[in-house]
Structure 1
């Protein structure tokens, strides 16, 4: 996987494993999902409006551009959710526990 972000300086934080679309990836303590994901993938999710992949925009939870799914189908904002060990994240809605966002 080729990420959009690259860690340049601060590399001393403890790391742990998360899973992105079934692939094991490393995240660091204190990373939001946005940072953890964009270190390993070029985009966060498919747009629900059909205009391509999305990668977050405001970085503070206001724009709604960074929604991703947990493997059980729950949606979370990548920019305000901390990555935790063992987390399973899905970037394509059809893979998220059979649920497709938006849902009623």
Structure 2
């Protein structure tokens, strides 16, 4: 069994397997969107490899972090644009 780590997603503590990408952790929690477009439309990961930039979230206070390229570790704080 994979080691589990605790991350915080939009203020809610969640356990996910270590080394899971942030995008995968969001999908495991059935999060509808990673961010909102300038017109308010919900956006979510599309390519899964860092090309489309649709997976941008704030990680540990750093805005516009690519969720598909960021691995979960203990204590990570993820904020989406709900």
Q: Work out whether the TM-score is over 0.5.
A: yes
Q: Cα distance, 1:67 vs. partner?
A: 0.3
Q: Which has the higher strand share?
A: 2
SS at match of 1:30: coil
Aligned to 1:68: 57
| Equivalent of 1:56 in 45, 50, 63 | 45
The alpha-carbon distance between structure 1 residues 46 and 74, as it changes in their structure 2 partners (threshold 3 A), is closer
Which ranges in structure 1 are unaligned for 5 or more consecutive residues?
1-11, 94-104
- The 3 A distance-change label for structure 1 pair 47 and 74 is closer
Root mean square deviation, CA, Å = 1.8
**How far apart are the structure 1 equivalents of 2:74 and 2:5?**
6
Task: Report if aligned partners of 2:34, 2:42 keep a CA contact under 8 Å in 1.
Answer: yes
Matched residue, 2:24: 35
Q: Which runs of 5+ in 2 are unaligned?
A: none
- How big is the shift at 1:51? 4.5
- Aligned residue for 1:90? 79
Give the aligned length: 82
